[in-house]
Amino acid sequence: MTHGAFEPLLGVDRYTDAGRLRADDLAVRSYAAELLARAAQRIGEAVVDYQRSILPPSTREQPFPPAELKLPMDVGRRCQQRYTAVADRLRNAPFPPDPKKAWKRLRGPGAAQLLELDQVLHRQAELAAGVIEGVSAPSLSELPVREAESALADLTRTLDERLSYLSGL
């Protein structure tokens, strides 16, 4: 009698297989996005601490900090923006318009393939977040930008593969 009655309140119909598929999809993507968002926040905090503790205060004679001192801060901000962009893309990724049809096609080997893609997505999100685990103001100049970009690129490829798999259903 109440089948689907709470869907507008929950945002997901958890009473059907298709609704649970949608809920699982949201959980997978939100977990990975949260890891990346926390990593971006950590970089942002390191940039602010760097600006507060390492950059010299402005004076009339030198109103702007030297470019070589400001470079790690700029690199950190760009890296933070990349992490935030990938986290936003994970959160806002589309789901197949008809989850009932998608669920029917996902039974059996299709579900195993999706599970494998989800596990890879989680591992890559954890790796991308782990790349910048120990970032702080003093170590901002040694930020592993190339490794972070590589980890984010791998994660983006997996997300694209996952989205094309789901849209092909």
Mean pLDDT for the chain? Answer: 84
Determine how many CB atoms are found less than 10 A away from the CB of residue 91. Answer: 15
Determine how many CB atoms are found less than 10 A away from the CB of residue 35. Answer: 22
Q: Tell which wins on pLDDT, 80 or 166.
A: 80
pTM of the model: 0.82
> Of 23, 31, 29, whose CA–CA distance to 159 is shortest?
29
Q: Cα torsion for 93, 80, 34, 12, to the nearest 10°?
A: -30
The 10s digit of each residue's pLDDT in 1-54 is: 344 444 444 455 556 666 677 777 788 889 999 999 999 999 999 999 999 988
Amino acid identity, position 169:
L
- Record the tokens describing residue 151, joined without a space: 């980890």
Sorted by where each begins, the domain ranges of the chain are: 11-167
What number of CA atoms fall less than 13 Å from residue 44's CA on the CB side? Answer: 11
